[in-house]
Amino acid sequence: MDYGVCEPARLGQTQLLDGRLLGWAEWGPTDGTPVLFCPGAATSRWLGFGGGVIDAAGIRLISVDRPGLGASDPAPGRTLTSWATDMRHLIQEQALRAPSAVGFSQGAPFALALAADGLVNAVAVVSGSDELAHPRFTHALAPQVRGMVNAVAADPDAAEASFAGFGSADALWDLIIATSPEADRTVYTDPVFQRAFRRAMDEAFSQGPAGYARDTVLAMGLWPFDPADIAVPVELWYGEQDTSPVHSPDLGESLTRMIPKATRHLLPAAAGSLLWTHAEAVLRTLLAHAR
């Protein structure tokens, strides 16, 4: 099956005001409707989606490496707020008019941070990580995830060092395959998809595990914004077969209630990989807001 992964049409880096470089990859026409992509944990700009849809829909998909991953320079101590500041500069430098955003898995809080900062006009959260440190999930987390959340709350620096000790592309790949349901393993182990996925993971760790570790600290901590203050439409997409312990424990149900203009799409036959199995639906729903 074609899961819509293909080589980027363009690669580049944008220099930020402090001299750091932010790496990105693009697919689709340069004059297309801009959609910023915040990838999942420990994957770089190389892994896109919607390859059979992007050009026909007139979308300019821009995947951005977070600092310390792939082609983006490190920014020790970075936050979700500083990420929005970096992206504001990229949006201005690239002259992106009225962009929207997609956040997959651990990329979800990064996409929502852009919405909270008023940088995008709509967001699609796909198989997204939720605010796992929020009190509403006190009794809903898997023990291992609860341990990570507690570690970040108690001593974020020590937790970050611990996450860095675990982080490698091979270790993370083995964990993904071991814990994914069959619906996801079918996608992830498809020869074409696996090659693209592993390449993106290898590049994400090309500077070492520090970028992955910092992302994980941010994903396990409290968000610096209130979802209730997000004023733009947010489409939340989850598959009922999604068993990932680091995605939303209630598959976005409570987050949908918190965000004023949120709509939840719960797909019975889909799992965590629905960004690649249902890319057209995700993008066309997002474009309805963008246009």
What phi, psi does 230 have (nearest 5°)? -75, 120
Q: What is the pLDDT of residue 166?
A: 77
DSSP codes of every residue in the chain: --------SEEEEEE-TTS-EEEEEEES-TTSEEEEEE--TT--TT----TTTHHHHTEEEEEEPPTTSTTSPP-TT--HHHHHHHHHHHHHHTT--S-EEEEEGGGHHHHHHHHHTT--S-EEEES----TTSGGGTTTS-HHHHHHHHHHHH-HHHHHHHHHHH--HHHHHHHHHHHS-HHHHHHHTSHHHHHHHHHHHHHHTTT-SHHHHHHHHHHHS--SS-GGG--S-EEEEEETT---TTS-TTTTHHHHHHSTTEEEEEETT--TTHHHHSHHHHHHHHHHHH-
Does residue 3 form part of some domain? Answer: no
Q: What is the pLDDT of residue 175?
A: 87
Does residue 1 form part of some domain? Answer: no
Residue-wise pLDDT for 127-177, tens only, equals 999 999 999 999 999 999 999 999 999 999 999 999 998 778 998 899 889
Single pTM value for the model: 0.97
Does residue 267 form part of some domain? Answer: yes
Domain that holds residue 113: 10-288
Q: What is the pLDDT of residue 291?
A: 66
Does residue 131 form part of some domain? Answer: yes
Q: What is the pLDDT of residue 138?
A: 93
Does residue 110 form part of some domain? Answer: yes
- Number of domains the chain is built from: 1
- Cβ(286)–Cβ(235) below 8 Å: yes
Residue 254 belongs to a domain with what CATH number?
3.40.50.1820
Does residue 176 form part of some domain? Answer: yes
Residue-wise pLDDT for 271-286, tens only, equals 999 999 999 999 999 9
Residues of the chain with pLDDT under 70: 291
Q: What is the pLDDT of residue 167?
A: 72
Q: What is the pLDDT of residue 52?
A: 87
∠ CA 98-101-105, rounded to 5°: 175
Does residue 4 form part of some domain? Answer: no
Does residue 20 form part of some domain? Answer: yes
